[in-house]
């Protein structure tokens, strides 16, 4: 017997979850069904799947997803076809994140350590909440540390800290503070602008691995698909010392020397200005706030020498982005991770002004500045300078309670900061975590945190797609775990709000009163259901403003590329460039076996920490694949398996993030090495952000070798013959033409080799040739 709508709404009001199934436009309307199997009439549960819309909370981007639920269990995560960010698409992290929910090593109950250095013991939630309240009620200073949070979680965290007279500080091991400050500086935007990649004719990106992990990869990948679908296909240039996944997709990869990205950008600017490759209006706008002669130091020959790039390639890049307009130039990642990171990034984004790309379709477009109900729409990690100051307070015993959530602080902070020592001097260390990790090892109270599939929340995607979006997260499975925000509200005894769901409902009511947006309903309860069904609320009728001004700064910072000094001892000096793992990110997904076993796109390596170094350089140093290398900096030493890589610049060594956890479950513990630990104490000269790509290391062979766990074979993967299996066409060439040309190339190679080997005459060879 089927429920009718009135019966369902009655049931939905009673159920603990109250979650509402996804119903996208265009699909036949389905009856709303309560998810909890306890409340569900049996004949409606078995064998039928339901899809619930929610959000990938705690992962960057604010992506809207739908989750397939059968008999109360989550089976699959996919992109929400209705959501402006994902539009039905996904990335490798969505599916592996599902394993967090049913992971056998999740923390199941609150844990308390009776004394510093003692064991963690299971306690009840009642006792845990009491201990939490007792810690706060001593009246001492308090610091709340979270991952960068937006929406209601960010609002609740900030209000909680304020309520107790404490400090809320964000942590992100791969800082993006310089990126945010740059867009504010150049475009006067409080949150990241919308990059209209899909309509651009050319793209030039610096350092940011935007197709893999940077900022909003699903959204950018969708745009990339549109970019390549244009009639002239678009032209993509990527600047990076390392051939990342993004660099591999570029039509032109410029392997710049680390920290010279700003020089390259200004060298290109000089070419554009000198050769008048853009309009006078654009040139005037670009030079408006610059001192006369600002570009004098960026002559082509000098820039070529400093960046290590041939003059003709620099010139080519300048011509391409000037001629194929609208063009977008953007950057992040390792480009901002030097002591001159701010200088680099400003020079990069400033090019958009010179190209006339600001505020035009196919260029850099504004995102809403207006807020939804005062919810934070932008967030980034605090700078390393701010962290040093904060930790000095902890070390001095000035902070009584530190609450940490959503970050593995002890894993993500470099050794030179001494986080363990600092936390030992804090009376009460309270950690919210889904798994035991390096930080829970230092905690006095551990509270099991819900995954994003089990709790309420909201997120304002950053960057938004050019209009207002509020992604709504709802619990899609029944769970005994408690969300971090709801625990804070309970501890603060409703001084900030009753429950997160109620606060979200209040925001939804505010949205309904505007009479705008993607949901229309006759009453507030149906309006809320509508938002839950769609996975959020968005208003496409938005017009914002954006303009650009490029101002030079007196603090340009130092170049990170160093001369060899052997000051670290025996071994060969390299420039260390960490990169964010495509599957593990910064370690958030290290517990999940699907993420661990997902091959890296460039090396196909899985399960281990490897170190990429230039293939020719490895040969010169007698380093073979699998050699265990000792990599030492001023901050410490790690080991990694050597992986000679054709796409890495000589003098650099590239190591992925995510591994080197002492705990985090059976699939992550004691596996690989933590590259964050050995980052040197180097900071951006303007903002104090950690210059995480500015570390000098010394590399030695340990004498040990281990087979590298990778998906590719033992022979380097190169085409056996042209066009097999990847057929490559030139502009305007058809597949048939290319295949014919390849056939001739291969035949000639084959015949030439036969001549060399056997001396058989050409005529005899032709008759014996067998395809």
Partner 1 sequence: MTTNKTGKQNWGMVVDVDKCTGCQACVLACQSENNVPINTQERFERGRAISWIRVERYWEGNYPDVKARFIPIMCQHCENAPCEPVCPVYATYHNSEGLNVQVYNRCVGTRYCANGCPFTVRFFNYWEPVWPESFRNHLNPDVTVRSRGIMEKCSFCVQRIRRGVRTAKKENRDLIDGEIQTACSQACPTSALVFGDLNDNNSAVSKMKHDERTYKLLPHLNLDQNVVYLAKVDPEKKIESHSVESGSHD
Closest-CA residue to 705 (of 563, 632, 608): 608
Q: Hey, how many other C-beta atoms are within 10 angstroms of the C-beta on 766?
A: 10
Q: Which of 647, 658, 660, 688 binds partner 1 (CB under 8 A)?
A: 647
Contact 413, 172 (CB under 8 A): no
d(CA 265, CA 182): 15
3 state SS of 65: strand
Q: What are phi and psi of 387, to 5 degrees?
A: -70, -40
Interactions with partner 1, residue window 334-363 (CB under 8 A): none
Taking the complex as a whole, how short is the minimal distance between the CB of residue 76 and partner 1, in angstroms? 5
Interactions with partner 1, residue window 403-432 (CB under 8 A): none
- Cβ proximity to partner 1: between 194 and 710 the closer is 710
Interactions with partner 1, residue window 659-688 (CB under 8 A): none
- Cβ proximity to partner 1: between 102 and 289 the closer is 102
Interactions with partner 1, residue window 261-320 (CB under 8 A): none
**Span of 16-24, 239-247, 292-300, 347-355 interacting with partner 1 by CB under 8 A:** 239-247
* Host H or E run for residue 243: none
What is the distance, to the nearest Å, from the Cα of residue 352 to the centroid of all Cα atoms in its chain?
23
Residue 642 binds partner 1 (CB under 8 A): no
Token pair in block for residue 706: 């281990």
Residue 225 binds partner 1 (CB under 8 A): yes
Closest-CA residue to 677 (of 420, 320, 487): 420
Closest-CA residue to 424 (of 398, 397, 451, 405): 397
> Treating both helix axes as pointing N-terminal to C-terminal, what angle do 341-354 and 261-274 enclose, rounded to 10 degrees?
30
Residue 763 binds partner 1 (CB under 8 A): no
Q: Which of 251, 400, 681, 765 binds partner 1 (CB under 8 A)?
A: 251
Taking the complex as a whole, how short is the minimal distance between the CB of residue 604 and partner 1, in angstroms? 7
Q: Hey, how many other C-beta atoms are within 10 angstroms of the C-beta on 562?
A: 15
- Cβ proximity to partner 1: between 35 and 90 the closer is 90
Q: Which of 716, 749, 755, 764 binds partner 1 (CB under 8 A)?
A: 716
- Cβ proximity to partner 1: between 287 and 743 the closer is 743
d(CA 60, CA 585): 10
* Host H or E run for residue 376: none
Taking the complex as a whole, how short is the minimal distance between the CB of residue 156 and partner 1, in angstroms? 29
Taking the complex as a whole, how short is the minimal distance between the CB of residue 127 and partner 1, in angstroms? 26
Contact 639, 611 (CB under 8 A): no
Residue 371 binds partner 1 (CB under 8 A): no
- Cβ proximity to partner 1: between 366 and 463 the closer is 463
Residue 752 binds partner 1 (CB under 8 A): no
Residue 480 binds partner 1 (CB under 8 A): no
Residue reference for tokens 């959503």: 406
Interactions with partner 1, residue window 12-41 (CB under 8 A): 28
Q: Is 167 left (phi over 0), alpha (psi -120 to 50) or beta?
A: beta
Interactions with partner 1, residue window 69-128 (CB under 8 A): 70, 73-79, 88-96, 98-99, 101-104
Taking the complex as a whole, how short is the minimal distance between the CB of residue 55 and partner 1, in angstroms? 17
Interactions with partner 1, residue window 174-213 (CB under 8 A): 211-212
d(CA 771, CA 751): 13
Taking the complex as a whole, how short is the minimal distance between the CB of residue 351 and partner 1, in angstroms? 21
Interactions with partner 1, residue window 40-69 (CB under 8 A): 47
Taking the complex as a whole, how short is the minimal distance between the CB of residue 490 and partner 1, in angstroms? 27
Residue 252 binds partner 1 (CB under 8 A): yes
- Cβ proximity to partner 1: between 421 and 712 the closer is 712
Q: What are phi and psi of 655, to 5 degrees?
A: -130, 135
Burial class (CB in 10 A: 0-12, 13-18, 19+), 15: middle
**Span of 268-276, 692-700, 731-739, 757-765 interacting with partner 1 by CB under 8 A:** 731-739
- Residues contacting partner 1: total by CB under 8 A: 100
Interactions with partner 1, residue window 732-751 (CB under 8 A): 732-741, 743-745
Taking the complex as a whole, how short is the minimal distance between the CB of residue 522 and partner 1, in angstroms? 28
Contacts 24+ apart (CB under 8 A), 392-399: 393/141, 393/143, 394/143, 394/422, 394/423, 394/425, 394/426, 395/421, 395/422, 395/425, 396/425, 397/425, 397/426, 398/141, 399/140, 399/141, 399/142, 399/143, 399/426
Q: Which of 147, 339, 434, 649 binds partner 1 (CB under 8 A)?
A: 649
Taking the complex as a whole, how short is the minimal distance between the CB of residue 733 and partner 1, in angstroms? 5
**Radius of gyration in angstroms for the set of CA atoms belonging to the chain, rounded to a whole number:** 28
d(CA 528, CA 536): 9
Taking the complex as a whole, how short is the minimal distance between the CB of residue 398 and partner 1, in angstroms? 42
Q: In what order do the strands lie in the sheet with 468-473?
A: 457-459, 468-473, 536-539
Residue 249 binds partner 1 (CB under 8 A): yes
Residue reference for tokens 């990205």: 261
Interactions with partner 1, residue window 446-475 (CB under 8 A): none
**Span of 222-230, 365-373, 408-416, 563-571 interacting with partner 1 by CB under 8 A:** 222-230
Contact 145, 402 (CB under 8 A): yes
Residue 712 binds partner 1 (CB under 8 A): yes
DSSP characters over 260-299:
-HHHHHHHHHHHHHHTT-S-HHHHHHHHTTSPTTGGGG--
Interactions with partner 1, residue window 582-621 (CB under 8 A): 582-583, 593-594, 597-599, 601-602, 604, 606-608, 614-616
Taking the complex as a whole, how short is the minimal distance between the CB of residue 191 and partner 1, in angstroms? 22
Q: How many CA atoms lie within 13 A of 375 on its CB side?
A: 28
């Amino acid at each position: 017997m089927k429920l009718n709508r009135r019966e369902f709404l009655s049931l939905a009001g009673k159920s603990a979850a109250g979650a509402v199934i996804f119903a996208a436009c265009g699909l036949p309307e389905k009856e709303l069904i309560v998810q909890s199997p306890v409340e569900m009439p049996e004949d409606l549960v078995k064998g039928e799947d339901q899809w619930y819309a929610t959000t990938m909370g705690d992962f960057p981007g604010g992506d809207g997803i739908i989750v397939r639920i059968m008999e109360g269990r989550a089976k699959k995560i996919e992109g929400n076809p209705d959501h402006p960010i994902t539009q039905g698409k996904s990335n490798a992290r969505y599916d592996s994140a599902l394993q967090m929910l049913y992971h056998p090593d999740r923390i199941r109950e609150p844990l308390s350590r009776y004394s510093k250095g003692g064991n963690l013991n299971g306690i009840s939630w009642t006792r845990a909440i009491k201990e939490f309240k007792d810690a706060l009620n001593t009246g001492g200073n308090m610091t709340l540390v979270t991952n960068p949070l937006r929406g209601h979680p960010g609002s609740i965290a900030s209000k909680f800290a304020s309520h107790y007279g404490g400090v809320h500080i964000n942590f992100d091991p791969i800082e993006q503070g310089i990126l945010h400050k740059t867009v504010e500086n150049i475009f006067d935007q409080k949150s990241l602008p919308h990059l209209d990649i899909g309509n651009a004719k050319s793209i030039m990106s610096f350092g940011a691995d935007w197709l893999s992990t940077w900022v909003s990869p699903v959204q950018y990948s969708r745009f990339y698909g549109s970019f390549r679908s244009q009639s002239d296909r678009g032209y993509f240039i990527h600047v990076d010392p390392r051939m990342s996944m993004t660099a591999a997709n570029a039509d032109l990869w410029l392997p710049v020397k680390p920290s010279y990205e700003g020089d390259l950008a200004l060298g290109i600017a000089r070419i554009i200005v000198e050769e008048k490759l853009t309009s006078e209006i654009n040139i005037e706008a670009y030079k408006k706030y610059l001192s006369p002669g600002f570009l004098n130091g960026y002559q082509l020959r000098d820039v070529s020498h400093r960046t290590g790039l041939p003059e003709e390639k620099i010139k080519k890049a300048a011509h391409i982005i000037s001629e194929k307009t609208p063009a977008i130039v953007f950057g992040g990642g390792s480009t901002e991770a030097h002591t001159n990171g701010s200088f680099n990034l400003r020079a990069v984004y400033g090019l958009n002004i010179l190209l006339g790309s600001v505020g035009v379709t196919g260029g850099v477009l504004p995102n809403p500045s207006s807020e939804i109900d005062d919810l934070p729409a932008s967030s980034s990690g605090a700078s390393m300078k701010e962290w040093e100051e904060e930790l000095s307070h902890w070390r001095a015993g000035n902070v009584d309670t530190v609450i940490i959530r959503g970050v593995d602080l002890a894993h993500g902070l470099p050794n030179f900061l001494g986080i363990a020592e600092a936390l030992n001097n804090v009376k009460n260390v309270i950690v919210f975590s889904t798994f035991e990790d390096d930080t829970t090892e230092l905690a006095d109270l551990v509270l099991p945190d819900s995954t994003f599939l089990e709790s309420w929340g909201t997120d304002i995607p950053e960057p938004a797609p050019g209009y207002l979006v509020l992604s709504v997260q709802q619990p899609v499975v029944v769970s005994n775990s408690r969300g971090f925000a709801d625990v804070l509200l309970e501890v603060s005894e409703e001084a900030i709000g009753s429950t997160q769901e109620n606060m979200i409902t209040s925001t939804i009511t505010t949205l309904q009163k505007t009479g705008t947006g993607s949901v229309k309903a006759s009453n507030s309860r149906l309006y809320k259901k509508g938002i839950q069904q769609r996975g959020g609320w968005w208003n496409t009728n938005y017009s914002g403003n954006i303009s650009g001004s490029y101002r030079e700064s007196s603090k340009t910072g130092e170049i990170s590329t160093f001369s060899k000094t052997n000051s670290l001892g025996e071994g060969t000096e390299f420039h260390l460039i960490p990169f964010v793992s495509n599957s593990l990110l910064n370690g958030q997904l290290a517990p999940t076996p699907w993420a661990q076993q997902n091959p890296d796109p460039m090396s196909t390596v899985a399960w281990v920490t490897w170190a990429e170094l230039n293939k020719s350089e490895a040969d010169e140093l007698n380093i073979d694949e699998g050699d265990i290398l000792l990599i030492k900096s001023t901050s410490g030493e790690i080991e990694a398996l050597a992986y000679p890589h054709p796409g890495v610049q000589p003098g650099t060594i590239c190591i992925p993030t995510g591994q080197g956890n002492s705990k985090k479950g059976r699939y992550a513990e004691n596996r690989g090495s933590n590259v964050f630990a050995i980052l040197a104490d180097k900071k951006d000269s303007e903002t104090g952000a950690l210059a995480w790509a500015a570390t000098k290391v010394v590399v030695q062979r340990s004498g040990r070798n281990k087979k590298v766990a990778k998906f590719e074979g033992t022979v380097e993967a190169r085409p056996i013959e042209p066009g097999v299996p990847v057929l490559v066409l030139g502009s305007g060439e058809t597949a048939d033409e290319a295949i014919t040309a390849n056939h001739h190339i291969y035949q000639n190679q084959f015949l030439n080799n036969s001549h060399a080997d056997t001396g058989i005459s050409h005529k005899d060879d032709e008759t014996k040739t067998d395809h």
